[in-house]
């Protein structure tokens, strides 16, 4: 039977452990606890979790989108996507699409005029996903990641 996945924003301290476990397992770039706290404490309304319940009703975090929104160059509100991840066994079922959709909607509500993020130039899954939402390649960032890989800065004008 297809697992049922539901979506909600970050709620409690317990969510932080689940988020860190998922990101550590699935993303190449390591993040410190300070980075997680910066986002989830500053913008809990912009941190979305995809959760699956087991037979006993216990929640498991299977996907996450971590964003922020703030004033850019004292001119306009700008959204930023810091992390997006979906557990490997549940990929290609539209979970990331739903998370990004929720994030964009909320950033629009917060008055953002644009959203930016970085993605590895080799990350075809992420590049395809974001291009479907209308993100364009704004610039190429040389050796942006610890692995030495370049990144594209992607931008969506709202």
Ligand X SMILES: CC(C)(COP(=O)(O)OP(=O)(O)OC[C@H]1O[C@@H](n2cnc3c(N)ncnc32)[C@H](O)[C@@H]1OP(=O)(O)O)[C@@H](O)C(=O)NCCC(=O)NCCS
85 scored as a contact of ligand X (CB under 6 A): yes
Which range, of 38-46, 52-60, 103-111, 120-128, touches ligand X by CB under 6 A?
A: 120-128
Q: How far is the CB of 41 from ligand X (least distance, A)?
A: 22
Site for ligand X in 3-62 (CB under 6 A): 26-27
Q: Which CB, 44 or 94, lies closer to ligand X?
A: 94
Q: Which CB, 43 or 152, lies closer to ligand X?
A: 152
134 scored as a contact of ligand X (CB under 6 A): no
95 scored as a contact of ligand X (CB under 6 A): yes
Distance of CA 72 to the CA centre of its chain: 19
What contacts 19, CB < 8 A, 6 or more positions away?
10, 36, 40, 47, 49, 61, 64, 66
- Short-list 60, 58, 52, 68, CA closest to 25: 60
Residue 44 and residue 81: Cα distance in Å, rounded?
13
Place of tokens 């989108």: 65
Residue 64 and residue 60: Cα distance in Å, rounded?
11
Q: How far is the CB of 154 from ligand X (least distance, A)?
A: 8
Which range, of 52-60, 104-112, 122-130, 141-149, touches ligand X by CB under 6 A?
A: 122-130
Torsion angle of alpha carbons 127, 129, 132, 134, nearest 10°? -60
Q: Which CB, 129 or 141, lies closer to ligand X?
A: 129
> Where along the sequence are the contacts to ligand X (CB under 6 A)?
26-27, 84-86, 91-97, 119, 123-126, 128-129, 132
């Amino acid at each position: 039977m297809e697992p049922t996945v539901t979506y909600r924003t970050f709620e409690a301290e317990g969510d932080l452990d689940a988020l860190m476990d998922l990101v550590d397992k699935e993303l190449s770039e390591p993040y410190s606890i300070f980075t997680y706290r910066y986002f989830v404490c500053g913008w809990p309304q912009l941190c979305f979790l995809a959760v699956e319940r087991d037979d006993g009703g216990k929640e498991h975090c299977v996907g996450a989108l971590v964003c922020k929104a703030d004033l850019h160059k004292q001119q306009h509100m700008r959204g930023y996507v810091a992390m997006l991840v979906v557990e490997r066994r549940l990929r290609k079922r539209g979970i990331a699409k739903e998370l990004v959709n929720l994030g964009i909607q909320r950033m629009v509500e917060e008055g953002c005029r644009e959203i930016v993020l970085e993605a590895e130039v080799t990350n075809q899954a992420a590049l395809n996903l974001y291009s479907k939402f209308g993100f364009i390649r704004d610039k190429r960032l040389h050796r942006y990641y610890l692995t030495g890989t370049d990144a594209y800065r992607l931008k969506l004008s709202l």
